[in-house]
Structure 1
Amino acid sequence: MLPRRKSRPLPTAIFLIVATYVLFFWLPKTQSFRRLPKPISRQDTTIRSDAIRLNKVAEKYPVKEYIQLPTGSATIPRIQYEFPEETSSERRQRLKRRDAVKSTFMHAWNGYKERAWLRDEVKPTSGYHTDSFNGWGATLVDSMDALVIMGLDDELELALEALKEIDFTTTKSKQVPVFEIIIRYMGGFMAAHDLTHGKHPILLEKATELGEMIYHAFDTHNRMPSVRWDWTKSAKGEEIRPSPRTSLAEVASLTLELTRLTQVTGDPKYYDAVQRVMNELEIGQDKTRIPGLWPTWLDMDRMDFEDSEFTIGGCADSAYEYLPKSHILLGAQTDKYRKMYEKAIKAFNDKLLFRAMTPDEDQHVLFAADAIGLRGNSQTLKYSADHLKCFMGGSVAIASKIFNRPQDMYVARGLTDGCVWAYDIMPTGIMPEIFKVSHCQELDHCPWDEEKWMSDVLSRSIDSEETREAAEDQIEAEKLPPGVTEIKDPNYKLRPEALESVFIMYRITGDKKLQDTAWRMFQHIDKATRTKFGHSTIKDIRHSKPRFEDKMESFWLAETLKYLYLIFSEPDHISLDDYVLSTEAHPFKRPDAIKHSKPSQ
């Protein structure tokens, strides 16, 4: 007879409790994410098989001799800070934050997979879908490199399989927005191709298919593009003309994507197409009403640069962003972009840069004004700040390193801190789309003056108790934080620009306080914008519980969350010394000709 085992309920229970505690609280954790099964294609099945298609069409204005990629040997100074080894506690906190961003990404990605697979965007509140960019699956393609960066291999496989269903020869849309298509689709394909080291041939196949299609938009009498391109005219062999009124950004922000396509395929026509545009802009740079800057609106048909509006914000932003980045992607083998940047940054510093007046006089808060250029080399300024201008801090920082302009780092940090300040002063912790501020006469001396602020709010002097009360009433009614004089557009559109500059500034300076800044911004954004099927633009950042607009553009996944993920990743993950990031945050591999100089701190 077997001996009976003694019962030990108390020691066993204690052991199980201790083991559970160790398992859940001490052992390293891996983040798990809800993964949906293979998504249902929601392609637009109303496109008929006999629809108009853009296949091989004879060019009306063929190029006789292509502009070739520059060759030579050059050195670009190191961009990134030499980060020391982190402590174990720093690593735990960083990984916890990184995984929280990844979880938020998966929430939005799953909403798109479930409700809008192969359409351009999911409506994050209602769960419907919409096609904003010709119906070729903008969110899917724009997000592919983010899937690689975040190690979401299973999701990437689903996306790669879905690419077979995208047909770039036809669309129900009458016009093709050339700039948006190139930065979202071409950028998505080329970055995913670079990050996976050419492992997936379909990425380059689709990039080339799109390149062949979009190249027809440059088939005009002067080879300047039709940026709102009526593609059916080209498909039917009819003539198209360059856009008589186009934004600066739309024509001057195509260089990275099409240059990279030429670098990878060896086909010179894509680089030729964008260099012809940039050659014209280089000629016109000194002939504008504010020499060094280009007007916001251009006539590319008559090559007219006479418009009077100037900004580095919406409709112009990425034109200036791409000057130092094109220099990097071309391996510093031409001085064209350095010279153009140096003229632009001088005009920017002299004409547009200003300091905002804030109660904390130690805050170094810089912004960029808008200008109306008058004849005779004079201008009037509008001291408005907008979210799209927030890219400038990061761009100036990169240029400061690669062009050896250390004096500009003061400006770069001030522009970045200005956008962070704009986040921190709002009730939701989120910056509005467009607002105005009280400005200082000097960058280095900016004492707080409450009466000046109130007079700026009313646009008239505070000369009586009545006008003071009127100012106070307006400040209260419009919920204006000290220093802010008007909130012209209180929306938040899930934009990435402020976080983009925080990311770049962190990678360049190594300032770990910027990681805390990014975490604070992320928490506020996630809280205010999260919906059932993703994250939505919000109507008014002044309300603690803002209303949703049921809109989630592809850049939420492609840019905003990618920058956040990279801020909390190892510094050599997508290093700025290995990749150049496009205006849509797509990393393109820098050419092998680049040789990094000795690290500097």
Structure 2
Amino acid sequence: MLPARAAPVRPRALLPDREKADEIREEFVHAWEGYKRLAWGHDEVLPVSGRHREFFAKGHPVGLSIVEALDTLHLMELDTEVDRCVSWIKSRLRFDVDADFQVFETTIRLVGGLLSGYLATGEKALLDRCADLADRLLPAFTSSRTGMPYRYVNLRTGRVSGATLPLAEVGTHILEFGTLSRLTGDARYERAAKRALRAVVERRSSIDLLASRINVESGQWADRAGIAVDPPADSFYEYLWGAWEMFRDEECRDWFRMFAAALKRHQVEWVDGLLWFKHVDFRTGALIGTRQSALSVAVLPVGGDDELAADYYKSWTAVLDKYDVIPEEIDYRRLEAVGTGNALRPEYANCAFQLYWTTGDPYYRTTAWRYFRNLREYHRVRDGYTVVTDVTARPMTKGDHCPAYVFAENFKWLYLTFSGAPRFDYAHGYLSTEGKVLQGLRRNGAAGDG
């Protein structure tokens, strides 16, 4: 976020560190084998107990981890596994489900995963499934008089629910829907996503800040908290810039720059030489909170302000130095954990990749490698990887859950940082907030399961 200049020109390739890339790939395979063994076809694996769970709706598996993993498997040249996933999707995955699905998560995980899977393989069945799913999501947008989507939609009936929702859930659709519109020639998807963005922008305050929760029926804000880089707002801003990067949408670019300037004016705070972003009243700019989420570290690099992004990355590196694993939430003025778990968060690795990609500074590989080593030390179990419930405890305490996004994000960001992956176009690639490669996948690269 916060572009002080145009986004930098990215290198055509990164010099590979094969030894480290291979170690990362091996750990991804370890996690993947645990999922296949214990939870194949289900959404997520519980690797400690050997059970599984569904993410969207109890009793309605949609193979979420399979869809999330598709383009990671492709980038790592695990082609036999790609074929196995595609076969399952073609034979088993259907979306005629009488259950309420969360629209935001469905978009970034399933729509995005099927899109990147199609871009990786060219399998039209994946694009067909994706369009069918997006059609089932559209009532969340079209049933709303403001154009902002409801939080839930029943995939079979189109019934909507959940009128008050976080900012990110309103505005994190345009990259997936815009890509789908371009691949299918159906403009409805991008049009719906853009209308939702415009509805939010029109409700900004007089100082160009947004609150964090909004009612899509009344169009009224449900709180006063301007939080910007933190969830539940972060990816809203990412996707404004992404619409410019991917589609050259000048209106989204201008909106991004407007909000970035306001954020810089009202929310930057330096504490002991570290950069943070305070929570403020979105109407007045008055301070209301000093907490920061681990998810926020990945927001800044997308808009081209490498200097500010680098400063913010160093702030979170200080947290990594203190705890070895970054806690879910901190009070930045005390640099202390207030949310002590870690749900296998990928955002630090995401930021390391983005900054190494655009600057070439080896510092980002060094710190990304430390993140990976700590990931392996503290999250690895016999049948995969699991969350940590308390990063402040010694020894750290583990939970029993491997989120599906691990297969889409953590290992992918790390692998792209070290591998110089031949199946990724480093000069023109673009990844979504969920780590899906929506631009820059190469179908023809060095192949094999190695």
TM, length-normalised to structure 2: 0.90
Aligned to 2:150: 226
Kept after mapping to 1: 8 A contact 2:136/2:156: no
Pick 1 or 2: higher relative contact order, CA cutoff 8 A, min separation 6. 2
Aligned to 1:380: 287
Of 372, 385, 404 in structure 2, the residue corresponding to residue 535 of structure 1 is 385
Instruction: Find the residue that maps to 1:322 and give its secondary structure.
Output: helix
In the TM superposition, 1:40-439 aligns within 5 A as 79-81=9-11, 94-134=17-57, 135-163=61-89, 164-171=91-98, 174-196=99-121, 198=122, 200-222=123-145, 223-231=147-155, 233-234=157-158, 240=160, 243-285=162-204, 288=205, 291-305=207-221, 307-311=223-227, 312-330=229-247, 332=248, 334-357=249-272, 365-373=274-282, 377-395=284-302, 399-400=303-304, 408-426=305-323, 429-438=324-333
Deviations 1:363-387 (A, max 9, x none): x5322222234x5x24124222220
Kept after mapping to 2: 8 A contact 1:392/1:415: no
Please identify the structure whose Cα radius of gyration is greater. Answer: 1
Aligned to 2:360: 510
Instruction: Find the residue that maps to 1:588 and give its secondary structure.
Output: strand
Cα distance between partner residues in 2 of 1:250 and 1:79: 30
CA pair 207-564 structure 1, distance change in 2 beyond 3 A? same
Kept after mapping to 2: 8 A contact 1:502/1:514: yes
In the TM superposition, 1:572-591 aligns within 5 A as 574-589=424-439
Cα distance between partner residues in 2 of 1:187 and 1:79: 25
Kept after mapping to 1: 8 A contact 2:243/2:252: yes
Shift of 1:421: 1.7
Kept after mapping to 1: 8 A contact 2:13/2:426: no
CA pair 487-221 structure 1, distance change in 2 beyond 3 A? closer
C-alpha RMSD over aligned residues: 2.1
**Residue 523 of structure 1 pairs with residue 360 of structure 2:** no
Cα distance between partner residues in 1 of 2:359 and 2:390: 33
Instruction: Find the residue that maps to 2:433 and give its secondary structure.
Output: coil
Shift of 1:119: 0.5
CA pair 263-83 structure 1, distance change in 2 beyond 3 A? closer
Kept after mapping to 2: 8 A contact 1:120/1:136: yes
Cα distance between partner residues in 1 of 2:108 and 2:13: 31
Instruction: Find the residue that maps to 2:389 and give its secondary structure.
Output: coil
Q: Percent identity?
A: 25
Which blocks of at least 5 consecutive residues in structure 1 are unaligned? 1-75, 358-363, 401-407, 439-482, 592-601
Cα distance between partner residues in 1 of 2:108 and 2:36: 22
CA pair 590-335 structure 1, distance change in 2 beyond 3 A? farther
Deviating beyond 6 angstroms after TM superposition, the runs of 4 or more aligned structure 1 residues are: none
Which blocks of at least 5 consecutive residues in structure 2 are unaligned? 1-5, 442-450
Cα distance between partner residues in 1 of 2:203 and 2:236: 14
Cα distance between partner residues in 2 of 1:83 and 1:267: 34
Kept after mapping to 1: 8 A contact 2:172/2:236: yes
CA pair 581-431 structure 1, distance change in 2 beyond 3 A? same
Shift of 1:560: 0.8
Amino acid at match of 2:150: S
Shift of 1:589: 2.0
Instruction: Find the residue that maps to 2:361 and give its secondary structure.
Output: coil
Kept after mapping to 1: 8 A contact 2:235/2:299: no
Kept after mapping to 1: 8 A contact 2:43/2:54: yes
Aligned to 1:18: none
